[in-house]
Structure 1
Amino acid sequence: MRDGETVTFGGLGGLDRAAELRGDAARQAALWGEGTARVIVLWRGKPMVAGEARDRLALLPAGHPLVAGARGPRLFLGIAADGPVFALDLSAWEPVGIDAAAQGGAFFDATEQRHPAVPADHLFVELRGVMTRLSPLDAELAATARGLFEWHRSHGFCARCGHASDMAMAGWQRHCPACNAPHFPRTDPVVIMLVTHGNRVLLGRSHGWPEGMYSLLAGFIEPGETIEAAVRREVVEETGVKVDAVRYLASQPWPFPASLMLGCAAEAVSDAITLDPAEIEDALWISREDMIEVLGGRHPRVKPARRGAIAHFLINAWVADLLD
C-alpha cells in the first residue's frame, strides 16, 4: 500500500528508542541530569498537551516542579532530535471538582483537566481526540507512553506464580522477585478488514457506539491462527459474508489499551449479510460513491470512522484508489 506508514502512530517521527540503554540506570540518570531531558506526563491515560489548538505534547523539563514532585517510577522512551524523553504517570493526582461519571463512563471522554502547577493551556486530554493534530513524533511518544503505563497498571502480578512484580528495564519489563520470571509489554494483534465486493465496502457497528458511527470489521487473532485465517473467520462470524483473497495493507499501534491493528484487504465472494447480534449491532454495504458522502459528513445514515484510526485511513485510500 502506498504511504502505509503515514497512518497515525505510524512511527515516522525519528524517535530512537535506544533499547541498549534500558538496563543502564547510570546512563539514564546522566541523561536525566544533563538538562536536555524532557518529560511526558499522563493522568489516567490522558497525555498532557499544550497550546490553544491542543496540537502538541507538553514536554516538561526534568527540573519542573510537577516532575520533581511526582511519585512513582519513570519510563525511558528513547532519544529524539532534541534529547532524551521520559514519561511519568500522575494518576494519583485528584483534580478538584472532577466529574467522575463524565470522565469514566462515556464512549469518549471529552473532559479536560489542568494541574495547578502548569500554565492554563496545558491540559490532560483524551488522546483519541487530538491524535490527528500531533506531529508524528508526539503521536508516537504519546501512544508508547500510554500503552506502557496501561500495561503496568493491568499486569502488576506475576502470571507464573501470582506474586507482585516490579517494574524493570526503564519500564520495558516487569520482574517477579519470587520466581525470577521476566514479563514483557503485551500487544494484542487485531485484524481490521477492508472487505470489498465490486464497488462496495462492508461496514459494521458495535453495540454502544454513537448513533450512526460505522467502521470496518475487526477482531482479535486467536492462538494458532494466521492473519489471513483470522480475517476470514471474523468476517463470516460477524456478518455471514465469505471472503477469499486476503492481503496485508498497513498496521497501526492502537494503545486503547494494547492492540496492534493489522489492516488487510479482503475480497468477498458472497454479499448476503447474516448478523450475529452477539458480535455486532449492524452491518451494511456502502458504494464508493456513497462513501464519499460519508467521509464528507453528508450521508443521511452513516457517520465515518474516527479520524486517525486505521479504518478511516484505509477507507480514504480505497476511495482515492491508492491501494496497491
Structure 2
Amino acid sequence: MAAAVTNIFAGLSLVLDRMSERRDEEAWLAEQAGCREARYLLLDAAGESYLLQETEGLRWLSGAERSAWFADVPASLLGIAGGCPHFLLALDDAHPFDALEERLAARRIGLREAGLRLAADEAGLFAYAKGLAHWQRETRFCSGCGAPLRRVAAGHRMQCTDDACGRLHFPRTDAAIITIVEHEGACLLGRQASWPKGRWSALAGFVEPGESLEDAVRREVAEEAGVRVGEVHYHSSQPWPLPASLMVGFIAHALDPAIDLRDGELEDARWFTPGQITAGLADGSFATPTRLSVSYQLLAHWLRERAELELDTLVT
C-alpha cells in the first residue's frame, strides 16, 4: 500500500489552483495581473530565485514593483493561492542579477537549498516555476518546421509562428523511476563515485519509450546492479525540475540477491539490513540520501515497515 507521505516539492494542489481552464482568457489574465494582490516570483537565467534576508521566505514582487522594474518581462500564470494570483517572471542574462540582490534586500537561492529551507507551499511554487521557466527557455523553435515560437496560454504553451504550420508545443516532463529493492530482510542501495564518502541511495533511472513504470524498475535495477526484480509496488512521486523530471518511487522485491556491476553505472551496490544501517549511521560509515529526495522517504518507509525504526531519529 502506498505510504501517506508528501515529498518535498509535492502537495502543491492543496494550496494552489492552477486555473488551467482560464489560461487562454486574455481579459481575465490582465485583470489578475493588475490586481492589488498579484505576486510575482523572479527566476534568473540559472533558475535561481531570491530569499528574504529577514525571514525564511521567497521575495515576491508586488504588481507595482513588477511594473516599475520588469514591465518588459512576460508574466506566466502559476495559479491562485490564498486568493492571490501568482505569476512567474523568468529573467534573462540582460538583467543585472547582483544589483537585484541589493534592490530586493534578498539573496539568490537555488532550488535544492530552497527545498530544505522553505515552507512546503513556497518550495512547491519555486519548483513549479523553475520547471516551467526551463521549458520556456529550451523551447524556442518549432520541431516540425523550425520557425520561431510564440508564448500563449499564460506561458504554458508555445505556438509556431508559421501560419502554415501553427503547431502547439506543450511543457514536457521526463519520467524517472526510483526504487528500494528488498530481499529477505535487506534492501539494495547503490552509490556513485562522485558522491560524498559513505552515501548510499535508492536506484533510479529514466523511463524509456514504450515502457511501463514497473518494467522500467526491473530494467534499471538489472542494468545498474544485475539484480532480477519481480513484484513492484508504487510508493509516492516527486516533481524534480532539475531540469524537467518526475521521480516515481517504488518498493520492489528481488527474485535473486546476486549483484553484478558489469555495466559500470554504479561504483558499488550492496544489501543492507536495518541493523547495518543503524550501526553505520551511529559510527558515521553510512550516510543517507539527501532529505530533499524521495529516496530518503523510500528508505524511511522501508525501515519503518520492516524494523519499526524512524530514520529521522537515527540521523543526527
- TM-score norm. by structure 2 comes to 0.88
Q: Map 1:250-289 to 2 at 5 A.
A: 250-289=236-275
SS in 2 for 1:156: coil
> What is the CA distance between 1:189 and its match in structure 2?
0.7
Map 1:57-96 → 2, pairs under 5 A: 57-64=58-65, 68-69=69-70, 71-92=72-93, 93-95=95-97
Which residue is 2:3 aligned to? 2
State the Cα deviation string for residues 265-305 of structure 1 (Å, max 9, x = none).
Answer: 100122221114442222122211233355xx545433211
Which structure dedicates a bigger proportion of its chain to helix?
A: 2
59 and 322 in structure 1: CA distance in 2 versus 1, 3 angstrom threshold = farther
- What is the CA distance between 1:95 and its match in structure 2? 4.3
Q: 1:128 aligns with which of 102, 112, 121?
A: 112
Distance 1:262 1:322, change over 3 A: farther
Mark the runs of 5 or more structure 1 residues left unpaired by the alignment. Answer: 97-112
Q: How many residues align?
A: 301
What's the counterpart of residue 169 of structure 2? 183
How much has 1:155 moved relative to structure 2? 1.9
Secondary structure, in 3 states, of the residue corresponding to 2:247? strand
Matched, 1:203 2:205: no
Of residues 123, 132, 144 in structure 2, which corresponds to 1:160?
Answer: 144
Match of 1:319 among 303, 309, 315: 303
Corresponding residue for residue 232 of structure 1: 218
**Which deviates the most, 209-218 or 183-192?**
209-218
- Between the aligned residues of both structures, percent identity stands at 37
Q: Residue 49 of structure 1: which of 48, 51, 57 is its match?
A: 51
Shift of 1:161: 1.5
TM-score normalised over the length of structure 1: 0.86
Correspondences of 1:298-313 after superposition (within 5 Å): 298-313=282-297
Between the aligned partners of 1:206 and 1:116, the Cα distance in structure 2 is 39
Matches within 5 A, 1:212-227: 212-227=198-213
User: Tell me, which stretches of 5 or more residues in structure 2 are unaligned?
Assistant: 308-316
Alpha carbon RMSD of aligned pairs, Å? 2.2
Q: Is the 8 A contact 2:9 2:120 kept in 1?
A: yes
Distance 2:306 2:147 in 1: 50
